[in-house]
Amino acid sequence: MTILNFETNPSRQHYDVVIIGGATSGASTAWHLTQDSDFKGSVLVIERDPSLKYSATQASNNCMRQQFATKINVEIAQYAADFVNKFGKIFGPDPCVPNPPIRQFGYLYLSDSPAFTEILQKDQKLQESCGAGTEIVSTADIKKQYPWFNVDDLDSGSLNTKNEGCFNALGMVEWMRQDSCENGVEYIHNEVVDMVVEHDYVRAITLRSGERIATDNVVNAAGTRAAQVASLAGIQVPVEARRRYTYIFEVDDPLPKDLPLTIDPSGVHFRSYGASDYLVGCPPLGPDTAVDVDDFSFAEDAWNKKILPIISHRIPQFKSARVTKSWMGHYEFNVFDHNAIVGPNEKIRNFYFIAGFSGHGSQQAPACGRGLSELIVHGKFKTLDLGVLSYLRIPEGRPLMERAVI
């Protein structure tokens, strides 16, 4: 990241908007506020780790897809694809922006049973109704397009190669932060340790450095720490850190063309990474449970015990796979329904959420950051109605379950 030399202390005692968390979601909200001609206020972004070394943004696999099971997530993904495709025009020429902005090798969900095929067919109809180009493909179709696959134990697949693939999520965040600062947003390296709540209204926040800052609006964009931040205002939110492993590997005999992001029935997913190497990721070997937000250890040998056997079975050429790089990152997992939470708390109306993305934050932040900025400035969504993602669904017990989480 370029903007690393944040000041520690804020320059003012009052801000119209305080954003807690300066990674993808916080950066998107701040940037979209600066793009709204009706917003004339001041913005402070507080980030405890300006390098984003341990953020979900840094660990992101930079994926872009429309193959979701809920309409709003398909629409959010389409907004993201449009935003990223215009990335160079929005921010200007820069080596961070690949050409084309989205590497469109596609997403391929593999089904190993008629029951799961029925689920993919249902999702495909939803995606098609939104204008996505998803198609259900037979094992013969898969073998024809991607002859390296072992399809003997498969039933079908779901494939879309338009606006599905990967993009430079970290570069997008870097540019949002840079441009926001140039337009008056203040980023500081600090941490919120307390909040003053009076009459169901956050009046001020207290920083670890001791300053008390008055504010009219607070945005919780704290990622895996969203529950900790919310608790400072006496609010509970069902967001926790979940472990995800990622490996980069090379093989003796690379595939002749790009490998789509392939979701194996086992949950292991893999795709092309560079010109001739590959990325693969998976959840934990056992139960997918919460971990400490500061725990980035490799708690198990996921490569040898799970990943290598599966990728070798699915693509025999991958039997020679050798790891060249690996990392363990966290999903900010919304255990309620696996969907983002966007908008104000139902009681403390100036406390806003943009959190709980459950692994989809990099591609969902453009639409959700814009939507939240519209709520703050105009009191309503204007571009895309994100009302179904409101916090209110949680206390009311109305989950909007997103099934397509990997």
Q: What is the pLDDT of residues 26-51, one digit of tens each?
A: 999 999 999 999 999 999 999 999 88
- Per-residue tokens: 109: 């969900």
**Predicted local confidence at residue 93, as pLDDT:** 57
Task: Compute how many other C-beta atoms are within 10 angstroms of the C-beta atom of residue 90.
Answer: 15
pTM of the complete model: 0.95
Structure confidence at residue 1 (pLDDT): 41
Q: Is residue 148 exposed (0-12), middle (13-18) or buried (19+ Cβ within 10 Å)?
A: middle
Q: Find, among 294, 267, 203, the residue nearest to 405 by Cα.
A: 267
Residues pairing with 246 in the sheet:
281, 327
pLDDT of 3 reads 47
Tokens of 378: 């105009």
Write down the pLDDT at residue 91: 64
CA distances from 405 to 68, 349, 402 (A): 8, 30, 7
- What pLDDT, on a 0 to 100 scale, did the predictor assign at position 57? 77
Q: What is the pLDDT of residue 54?
A: 76
pLDDT of residue 92: 60
What is the CATH classification number for the domain harbouring 265?
A: 3.30.9.10
- Single residue among 299, 334, 369 that ends a domain in this structure: 334
pLDDT of 62 reads 87
Cα torsion through 114, 155, 320, 255, rounded to 10: -130
- Give residue 406's pLDDT: 81
User: 322 and 349, same structural domain?
Assistant: no
CA distance 388 to 73: 10
Q: Is the preceding omega at residue 366 within 30 degrees of 0, hence cis?
A: no
Q: Containing domain of residue 320, as a range? A: 99-165+242-334
3-class state of residue 191 by DSSP: coil
**Which tokens in the block code for residue 61?**
């696999």
- Bridge partners of 227, per DSSP, are none
Residue 64 domain-assigned?
Answer: no
Under a CB-based contact definition with an 8 Å cutoff, are residues 240 and 334 in contact?
no
Same domain, 294 and 327: yes
User: Domain total for the chain?
Assistant: 2
Tokens of residue 195, six digits: 């909040």
Of the residues 283, 310, 334, the one at which a domain ends: 334
Spans of the chain below 50 pLDDT? 1-3, 95
Q: What is residue 46's predicted lDDT score, i.e. its pLDDT?
A: 98
Task: Count other Cβ atoms within 10 Å, centred on residue 335.
Answer: 13
